[in-house]
């Protein structure tokens, strides 16, 4: 069976994460991605603007015995203030399914966060962005994001997209970014 975008996102990141690495979950939510990163990396920073997300994620991590995660109750647009370097970053855009569906990621802060993630990304590091865009405002965020990532300089980044082409109702899709390893000599 064809791999779903979220599974592809995890595999894309897992390929480069080692046990010493620092990783970032830019949209903590219920903590599924935070736990995924915690199981692979040495240090995880996770961000969300909702207290509920921190509570859910904390519970999930405790149940799994993962203690090397720092949860930040602040927008991901500020991530560079907390993380100097990262090997992998994941975004899951949109709203938290179990909470207020009006509390969504927004174009301006999402772009600022993706830009910050690009800056802190180590050479060979990767960013996975799951784009959910069926909700009000989602289409505008998607368009702004696609415009932004398409302009990333190809000398430094490789940018890919993974999506179904024949599915109805705004199917979620994946944007993958890799920072190239500098060539010497």
Ligand X SMILES: C[S@@+](CC[C@H](N)C(=O)[O-])C[C@H]1O[C@@H](n2cnc3c(N)ncnc32)[C@H](O)[C@@H]1O
The footprint of ligand X (CB under 6 A) covers 27, 29-33, 47-50, 53, 75-77, 92, 94, 96, 103, 105, 109
- The least distance separating ligand X from the CB of residue 181, rounded to whole angstroms, comes to 28
- The least distance separating ligand X from the CB of residue 36, rounded to whole angstroms, comes to 8
**Residue whose CB is less far from ligand X, 28 or 177:** 28
**Among 85, 84, 129, which Cα is nearest to 107's?**
129
Rounded Cα gap, residues 8 and 174, in angstroms: 8
Helix axes 107-120, 138-150, angle to 10 degrees: 30
**Residue whose CB is less far from ligand X, 22 or 92:** 92
Q: Find where tokens 């179904």 sit.
A: 164
- The least distance separating ligand X from the CB of residue 50, rounded to whole angstroms, comes to 4
Q: What is the signed CA dihedral for 80, 85, 87, 92, rounded to 10 degrees?
A: -10
**Residue whose CB is less far from ligand X, 96 or 121:** 96
**Residue whose CB is less far from ligand X, 91 or 149:** 91
- The least distance separating ligand X from the CB of residue 185, rounded to whole angstroms, comes to 41
CB-nearest residue to ligand X? 29
Give the residues across from 44 on adjacent strands: 23, 69
CB 96 within 8 A of CB 50: yes
């Amino acid at each position: 069976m064809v791999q779903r975008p979220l599974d592809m996102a995890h595999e894309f990141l897992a390929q480069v994460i080692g046990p010493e690495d620092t990783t970032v979950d830019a949209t903590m939510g219920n903590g599924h991605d935070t736990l995924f990163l915690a199981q692979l990396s040495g240090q995880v920073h996770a961000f969300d603007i909702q207290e509920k997300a921190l509570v859910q994620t904390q519970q999930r991590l405790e149940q799994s015995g993962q203690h090397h995660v720092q949860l930040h109750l602040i927008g991901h647009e500020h991530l560079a203030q907390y993380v100097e370097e990262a090997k992998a970053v994941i975004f899951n855009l949109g709203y938290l399914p179990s909470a207020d569906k009006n509390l969504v990621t927004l174009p301006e802060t999402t772009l600022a966060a993706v830009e910050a993630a690009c800056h802190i990304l180590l050479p060979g590091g990767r960013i996975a962005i799951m784009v959910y865009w069926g909700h009000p405002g989602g289409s505008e965020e998607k368009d702004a994001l696609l415009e932004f990532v398409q302009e990333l300089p190809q000398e430094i980044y490789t940018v890919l997209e993974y999506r179904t082409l024949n599915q109805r109702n705004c199917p979620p899709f994946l944007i993958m970014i890799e920072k190239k390893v500098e060539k010497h000599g």
